[in-house]
A and B are shown apart, each in its own frame.
Chain A
Amino acid sequence: MAKSQSKTAADASVEHKSRRDFIVVATYAMGAVGAGAFVWPLVDQMNPAADTLALASIEVDVSKIAEGQSITIKWRGKPIFIRHRTSSEIEEASVVSQDDLRDPEGDEVRAQKPEYLVVLGVCTHLGCVPLGQKVGEVRGEYGGWFCPCHGSHYDSSGRIRKGPAPLNLEVPPYSFLSDQVIRIG
């Protein structure tokens, strides 16, 4: 009690010094926070810009695709294959046993509506664009797509069946906005 009332000069200067240290440290700390806040826009400006993000998703009207026909769409700079499959192609895809697949995946998982298959047209081996979209193009031994670069064969569900590719053709995120319009991305 008595002690707190009678401070020595030494105590006062120590207290003074620690108050000074606090404000100095607090000032520099605040400066560091400000510097960090400044750094964030410098880093974030490299993230995709608004115009790039605007093209991050596209809408496709699939009603114009005849049965048996395939179209190629550009999405995020890459080709998307949309195939309006015939009933025999759908049948083929669904009866394949999972044990025969290098990358087991059921067709019902890959196609939200069996008539339309939507896959990324990029071979999972080294990135070439497989053939099979245009009329007359080679479709490979399994009736899907054939990659001419190193001989990967994909079936009518876009799954790898033969050749060096390790994975099935990637299914991009997509949803049906209506019966005839899908939104990719």
Chain B
Amino acid sequence: MSASKFSNPVVRWIDHRLPIFSFLEHEANEYPTPKNLNYFWNFGSLAGISLVIMIVTGITLAMSYTAHVDYAFESVERIMRDVNHGWLLRYIHMNGASFFFIVVFVHIFRGLYYGSYKAPRELLWMLGVVILLLMMATAFMGYVLPWGQMSFWGATVITNLFSAIPFVGESIVTWLWGGFSVDNPTLNRFFALHYLMPFLIVGVVILHLVALHRFGSNNPLGIDTRGPQDTLPFHPYYTIKDFFGLSVFLTFLAAAVFFFPNFLGHPDNYIPANPMQTPAHIVPEWYFLPFYAILRAVPDKLGGVLAMFGAIAILFVLPWLDRSPVRSARFRPMFKIFFWILVIDCIVLGYVGAKPAEGMYLLVGRVATVWYFIHFLAILPLLSVIETPRPLPQSISTPVFGGGGGLAGAAAAPKEKV
């Protein structure tokens, strides 16, 4: 064992037996981080904090919530009206979920733009996709719990999808429901699983961080760090930067919670669930809209289900679809254009997902769905082969010292932002 850096004898005693202090010193304090990270690198820590906020508010809500069809809606109203600060905890949890997804989507698109999914970070990326899937399952089940009209009918529509699976589909749906329709058994088990899954997410997040620390963070230039001249210790440089990012994030979250708490929600969910009456338009929460659009774009039920899950599954194999050795879009002019087209495509899918699946909306949704798959399955592999990337800078530090030789004809590159 190397000599301990700690002078405090109690700390040394503990650390010798359970090296938590050395661990934190290495992984959080002195941990070398590229010095050129921009604000898009804040979103990982924001996602982690969002998870903590969701768990903490969720546990307090679970203390007052009753998972029974006859009492669920009322127990939520009791939280809003009678439980001390119940309205605050409920609104934080509700809006926190939306903000968690906003943060995670930006985090994902950052990864797409800067090639953070490329070797050697493939597993880091895939663990991230697993986290996204767990988040979606957790959010879906969580939305059912208040037992409003949208809770019930959203659950009915989405669980019904599984009947599309050949042969075993109906049995699977009956098994999911615990009955012949979404009812009390369904609600009860969704509550149990909704409470469980965030802790599974915590586990996968830990693996995600372990994988991250194996090779360290990517950076906007997409080139590897060469040594201490390219990095800074995480503390104090990135602790304060993450703290600043957190303050800004919390300001937006507070603005939503305190002034627009129901903006991202749907009024129909303030109507108690009625299995005998379907709402005019069943709409999932906004973060599911792009996937909902893909689901409805395919006329065949099973096809729609496969396309929807395929849209996420495709992300798993992204490192093998995009084989360009250049990571960052800063040096990939054609890739950059297609990246932004993808962003617009996802926004279009989200827009269409909220509309009735007919007429122009359906047509646009279909085009956008097809384009989504073309982007990943055709464009990216093609670009790997035909694109000529811009020359990369020699190192992260070189542009820091401005101009100078050895940049192989790309003198404009270091001054360029995004």
Contacts and interface: CB of A to CB of B under 8 A. Distances in A.
Interface of A: 24, 27-28, 31, 41-42, 44-47, 49-52
Nearest to B61: A45
Nearest to B83: A49
A51 to B, nearest CB: 4
A45 B84 contact: yes
Given A41-B89, A44-B84, A52-B82, 9 more contacts: A24-B240, A27-B240, A41-B84, A41-B85, A42-B89, A45-B63, A45-B85, A46-B63, A49-B84
Contacts of A31: 243, 247
A47 B85 CA distance: 10
Interface of B: 56-57, 60, 63-64, 78, 81-86, 88-89, 236, 240, 243, 247
B243 A28 contact: yes
16 contacts: A27-B243, A41-B88, A41-B89, A42-B57, A42-B89, A44-B84, A45-B60, A45-B84, A46-B60, A46-B63, A49-B82, A49-B83, A49-B84, A50-B82, A50-B83, A52-B82
A49 B60 contact: no
Contacts of B60: 42, 45-46
Contacts of A44: 84-85
Contact of A49 (B56, B57, B78, B88): B78
B56 A42 contact: yes
A32 to B, nearest CB: 11
Contact of B86 (A24, A28, A49, A52): A49
Contacts of B240: 24, 27
A31 B247 CA distance: 9
Contacts of B83: 45, 49-50
A24 B236 contact: yes
A103 B331 CA distance: 88
Contacts of B85: 41, 44-45
A143 to B, nearest CB: 43
Nearest to A50: B82
A100 to B, nearest CB: 47
A168 B304 CA distance: 73
Contacts of A41: 84-85, 88-89
A6 B85 CA distance: 57
Contacts of A47: 84
Nearest to B86: A45
* Interface of chain A, main secondary structure: helix
A128 B63 CA distance: 29
Contacts of A52: 82
A52 B84 CA distance: 11
Contacts of A50: 81-84
Nearest to A54: B82
Contacts of A46: 60, 63
Nearest to B88: A41
Contacts of A28: 243
Contacts of B88: 41
A52 to B, nearest CB: 8
A51 B89 contact: no
A47 B78 CA distance: 14
B234 to A, nearest CB: 15
A28 B240 CA distance: 9
Given A24-B236, A27-B243, A31-B243, A45 B78 contact: no
Nearest to A52: B82
A51 B82 contact: yes
B139 to A, nearest CB: 22
B374 to A, nearest CB: 46
A15 B82 CA distance: 53
10 closest A-B pairs by CB: A41-B85, A50-B82, A49-B82, A51-B82, A49-B83, A44-B84, A45-B84, A45-B60, A45-B85, A42-B60
A51 B243 contact: no
Contacts of B81: 50
A44 B56 CA distance: 13
Nearest to A48: B84
Nearest to B243: A31
Nearest to A47: B84
Contacts of B64: 45, 49
A50 B56 CA distance: 22
A49 B84 CA distance: 6
Contacts of B236: 24
Contacts of A45: 60, 63-64, 83-86, 89
Contacts of B82: 49-52
B24 to A, nearest CB: 17
